[in-house]
Amino acid sequence: MLSCVYYGHIDKEGAERLLEKHGKDGSFLLRDSQSVRGAFCLCVRKTPFVHTYRIEHTSLGWAVETINRAKPQWFPSLDELIECYRKHTPDHMVPLLYPLEKANLCVEDRSNPVAKLSYMEM
């Protein structure tokens, strides 16, 4: 699952454009954090916004940063974190319903040269 939704080093605006153009409410992707080295951002669309949750790694494992520094839930891997939150979304998060898979975007881009150019600029 992780490799399908991991977009690497794209910025916040690029992630938002992808989710707005190719996603729907509940679509999500994972990207590198721009502000915290080694952290990731889970971006989830819920119209009219794209919500971003920072995921950090410590010796305890992986966790989504919580509101008011409440005690986070720790996972041994990013895959397990995402799969758990897809099944049981915490109250403070938007549900993770539809992975925005990179492979699907590439197929769509090949059929539309203009879409390919706009995707590649990110």
Give me the pLDDT at residue 41, please.
97
pLDDT tens digits, residue range 15-39?
999 999 999 999 999 999 999 999 9
pLDDT tens digits, residue range 56-91?
999 999 999 887 777 889 999 999 999 999 999 888
pLDDT tops 80 at residue 2: no
pLDDT tens digits, residue range 106-115?
655 544 433 4
Go through 43-75 and write b for each residue having 16 or more CB atoms within 10 A of its CB, e for each that does not. bbbbeeebeebebbeeeebbbbeeeeeeebeeb
Helices (H) and strands (E) in the chain, counts: 5, 5
Q: How many domains does the chain have?
A: 1
Give me the pLDDT at residue 106, please.
64
- Structural domain range at position 115: 2-120
Task: Check which CATH number belongs to the domain holding 59 and give it.
Answer: 3.30.505.10
% of the chain exceeding 90 in pLDDT = 67
pLDDT tops 70 at residue 94: yes
